[in-house]
Amino acid sequence: MLQRSHGINVRRECEREHHSKHTDGDRAQRIMTSMHERMPVSDLVSMPHDAATWTDLHWPLMYNNVTRQDLDALIEFLHHDIPRLTQAEQVEAFEREWSTWLGVKHSVFVNSGSSANLLTLAALREHTGPGEIIVPALTWVSDIAAVLHCGFTPVFVDSDPSTLGMDPEQVLAKVTSKTRAVFLTHVLGLNALTDELVGELTARGIPLIEDACESHGATFRGRKVGTFGLLSNFSFYFAHHMSTIEGGMICTDDPELYQTVRMMRSHGLVRESTSEELKRAYARRYADLHPDFIFAFPAYNVRSTELNAVIGRSQLRRLDANIAIRRRNFQLFLDHLDPDLFRTDFQIEGNSNYALILVLQRPDPVLRDRVAQALRGCGVEYRQGLSGGGNQLRQPYLRHRCPSVDRLNLPVVDHLHFYGFYLGNYPELPPDHILTLCRVLNGLGSTGICTRPMISSLPKKESVHVEHRSA
């Protein structure tokens, strides 16, 4: 009874805070600390766990990611006499502030993470010509779509079960004279880099491109991911660490690629370059063209607006505080999950997760369905298959483009595809919800259906079992 009233009070407090006008990272942190103090963890994990006791946790994938504070910043901006709304000073300021936060020389703000993927690959193609790009099978559709649209050939690699990123050994094994880049994804806030991978690619002169759309603020060896690659991409979609409603960023230290990406963002226009020397060179070479209308590339319009940049600047101020809360939430989740049923041994050094990762230890379809039912029963929104829904090679857009042998030779990705979930992890998520959910999930028990070993000890070349195909 005492435990229940604790829970209700905590929930009421959170609901009050959810509706408060001034919610921000600091406040969310204060609420969390006070809840930790009032509710002993042991009380929560020992509560009864049959379906009859499931309570609706009202737990969406993301909550309040564009806050009152951001909207107030936007309203203040709109109160200027004649505010300019199309890309201008606010976008430039956001790019500068983002570059400083990340630790890169240049950033280019675009209208989505997918546009960031596309421009990155388009710019690379201008510089390297056609060839192969090594990509993960577990990623977002736009990573692969960008590779295909830019005329590259994707070469797929299975995941490392402890980072969910590409298996570095397999990446290096697939590098050939045709390789133009390795385009890796840092999955759901886990770093996918290793010393060996970075060192070998540098030694062999293979460009690394980082998709950090799901991993703002994650670090490798204490340095932010997104600073290791020749180019890196971020997404500011609502469900990510920070949001500009829609938005994305391309980051690089390379001055030439920076100019190419800037031009490609706006129709390929040379006047979008910040290099006077480059503009003069084009004007001299194409003397029959007006300098305002020289299109260097067959490019796109993927600009964002001043409004999105104002929101981004406001968001950036609390990004670090929110990352710290999310990190704590994920640790709490891993600490209280039953490691016999669920994977809890991810490499979380330097992690930054906007989602809680839930992966079954064994390929057990009965437990998987029980988990899905329990999540729905507890009002927890989830996605199955992790990033991008799992194995991209199983998707219609790729099926006819690659032989089935490739599709079926990805045992780790397929395990994540069929037995992986992610749930929302936002700063205002009450820690007692995490503990309650762990109690429910642990109570689902082993079904005894599957006794195959954990995915980390599966032989690398094992093919997928028939049971998977109908899932």
Ligand X SMILES: Cc1ncc(COP(=O)(O)O)c(C=O)c1O
Give 376's Cβ-side CA count (13 Å radius). 6
Toward ligand X, which CB reaches closer, 187 or 380? 187
Toward ligand X, which CB reaches closer, 117 or 179? 117
Binding mask 408-447 for ligand X (x = CB under 6 A): ----------------------------------------
Should residue 140 be labelled a site residue for ligand X when binding is judged by CB under 6 A?
yes
CA nearest neighbour of 179 among 204, 146, 212: 204
* 50 Ramachandran zone, left/alpha/beta (phi>0; psi -120 to 50): beta
Should residue 312 be labelled a site residue for ligand X when binding is judged by CB under 6 A?
no
Toward ligand X, which CB reaches closer, 139 or 163? 139
CB of 140 to ligand X, least distance (A): 3
Q: What three-state secondary structure class fits 30?
A: helix
CB of 212 to ligand X, least distance (A): 8
- Classify the C-alpha dihedral 112-117-144-239 as positive or negative: negative
Dihedral over alpha carbons 275, 278, 280, 284 (to 10 degrees):
-170
Toward ligand X, which CB reaches closer, 134 or 213? 213
Residues 197-256 that bind ligand X (CB under 6 A): 211, 213-214, 235, 237, 248
Should residue 191 be labelled a site residue for ligand X when binding is judged by CB under 6 A?
no
CA 470 to chain CA centroid, Å, is 28
CB of 56 to ligand X, least distance (A): 27
Rounded alpha-carbon distances, angstroms, from residue 106 to 100, 122, 229, 365: 9, 17, 13, 46
Q: Which two tokens stand for residue 338?
A: 């039953």
CA 75 to chain CA centroid, Å, is 29
CA 24 to chain CA centroid, Å, is 22
Should residue 139 be labelled a site residue for ligand X when binding is judged by CB under 6 A?
yes
Should residue 322 be labelled a site residue for ligand X when binding is judged by CB under 6 A?
no
Q: What letter does residue 454 receive in the DSSP assignment?
A: P
Q: What is the C-alpha separation between 45 and 43, in angstroms, rounded?
A: 6
Q: Specify the stretch interacting with ligand X by CB under 6 A; choose among 53-61, 137-145, 150-158, 269-277.
A: 137-145
Binding mask 50-89 for ligand X (x = CB under 6 A): ----------------------------------------
Q: Specify the stretch interacting with ligand X by CB under 6 A; choose among 36-44, 135-143, 290-298, 339-347.
A: 135-143
CA angle 31, 35, 40 (to 5 degrees): 165
- Number of residues in contact with ligand X, rule: CB under 6 A? 16
For residue 380, the cross-strand partners are 59
Residues 90-129 that bind ligand X (CB under 6 A): 112-114, 117
Should residue 392 be labelled a site residue for ligand X when binding is judged by CB under 6 A?
no
Toward ligand X, which CB reaches closer, 226 or 248? 248
Q: Which residues bind ligand X (CB under 6 A)?
A: 112-114, 117, 139-140, 142-143, 185, 211, 213-214, 235, 237, 248, 387
